[in-house]
């Protein structure tokens, strides 16, 4: 094997093991090769976005944005295991996205049923005294729009082929199918509706102590070996650079518009390009 192919193979294995788990090959084959109709056609906007390396940046941005809802972070802090088993949680989320985007309709429905069962058990009381439930349609809708806005923002900035306005609207509408299946209500089906929905949530968003603690953990103290920290720090900086200005101060994150428009953007293109190069290494495509 040529040295460059060896580097690519090693990097791909490391990424896949972290994001998809040690048995990624078996689950990838099960998702992609299973016979049956799919929710979404090959080449559709949702498949283009969710299959691109920009999802690494979009996923981290989504986590940070979701932290701003006090009831969402209360559920994460109490139930998600983001400290005790952060990679396990990430792998479960990755598999859910892969199954609902690329898998058969029956597998997607089973995945939704499993997640809804988990949501029914996630309930409690936030530090401010308000009860929360992961199955709350309003809270589900916030988690959904934070993800969709983040995935789309990252793809339009760093994706291999940005979507046209019409394709971006179709992407938002396609993701709404999954959100409705999970129990969310009043979810957007276009970019305009997505922006309006997020604006409608802003009065509910606050920078709590739980949120700031989780943000510090995600950005500064991830459970990674030291050699991997610089690469992760790069992705973290790129993800923060995509957050809206109003989301920065509540999480005590910097807003440096000039640097983000130049240095961070250039680094982001390099980082996502490197990941894309690694993830297309033969012989094992990633899910």
Identify whether the C-beta of residue 214 lies closer than 8 Å to the C-beta of residue 60: no
Lowest mean pLDDT, pick from 15-19, 202-206, 240-244: 15-19
The answer for residues whose C-beta is within 8 angstroms of residue 155's C-beta and 6 or more apart is 48, 49, 52, 54, 55, 58, 162, 163
pLDDT in tens, 116-145: 998 898 888 888 889 988 899 999 999 999
pLDDT of residue 17: 52
Cis amide prior to 283 (ω within 30 degrees):
yes
pLDDT in tens, 144-182: 999 999 999 999 999 989 999 999 999 999 999 999 999
* Distance, CA of 34 to CA of 120 (rounded, Å): 29
pLDDT of residue 254: 78
pLDDT in tens, 210-251: 899 888 888 887 766 666 677 778 888 889 999 999 999 999
Residues paired with residue 124 on neighbouring β-strands, in sequence order: 132
Hey, where are the domains in the chain?
40-278
Q: Which one is predicted more confidently, 265 or 286?
A: 265
pTM: 0.84
Identify whether the C-beta of residue 40 lies closer than 8 Å to the C-beta of residue 47: yes
Taking alpha carbons only, the member of 145, 147, 165 closest to residue 156 is 165
């Amino acid at each position: 094997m040529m040295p460059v192919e060896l580097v690519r193979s090693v990097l791909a294995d490391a990424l896949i093991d972290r994001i998809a788990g040690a048995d990624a090959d078996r689950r990838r084959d099960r998702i992609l090769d299973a016979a049956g109709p799919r929710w979404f056609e090959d080449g559709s906007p949702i498949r283009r976005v969710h299959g691109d390396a920009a999802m690494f940046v979009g996923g981290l941005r989504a986590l940070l944005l979701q932290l701003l809802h006090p009831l969402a972070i209360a559920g994460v802090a109490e139930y998600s295991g983001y400290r005790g088993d952060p990679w396990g949680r990430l792998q479960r989320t990755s598999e859910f996205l892969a199954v609902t985007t690329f898998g058969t309709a029956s597998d997607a429905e089973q995945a939704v049923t499993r997640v809804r069962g988990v949501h029914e058990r996630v309930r409690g009381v936030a530090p401010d005294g308000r009860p929360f439930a992961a199955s709350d349609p309003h809270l589900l809708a916030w988690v959904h729009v934070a993800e969709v806005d983040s995935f789309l923002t990252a793809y339009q900035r760093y994706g291999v082929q940005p979507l046209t306005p019409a394709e971006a609207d179709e992407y938002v509408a396609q993701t709404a199918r999954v959100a409705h299946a999970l129990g969310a209500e009043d979810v957007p089906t276009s970019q305009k509706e997505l922006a309006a929905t997020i604006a409608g949530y802003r009065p509910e968003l606050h920078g709590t102590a739980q949120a700031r603690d989780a943000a510090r953990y995600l950005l500064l103290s991830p459970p990674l070996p030291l050699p991997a920290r610089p690469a992760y720090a790069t992705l973290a900086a790129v993800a923060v650079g995509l957050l809206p200005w109003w989301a920065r101060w509540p999480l005590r994150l910097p807003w440096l518009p000039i640097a983000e428009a130049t240095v961070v953007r250039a680094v982001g293109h390099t980082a996502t390009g490197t990941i894309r190069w690694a993830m297309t290494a033969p012989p094992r495509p990633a899910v």
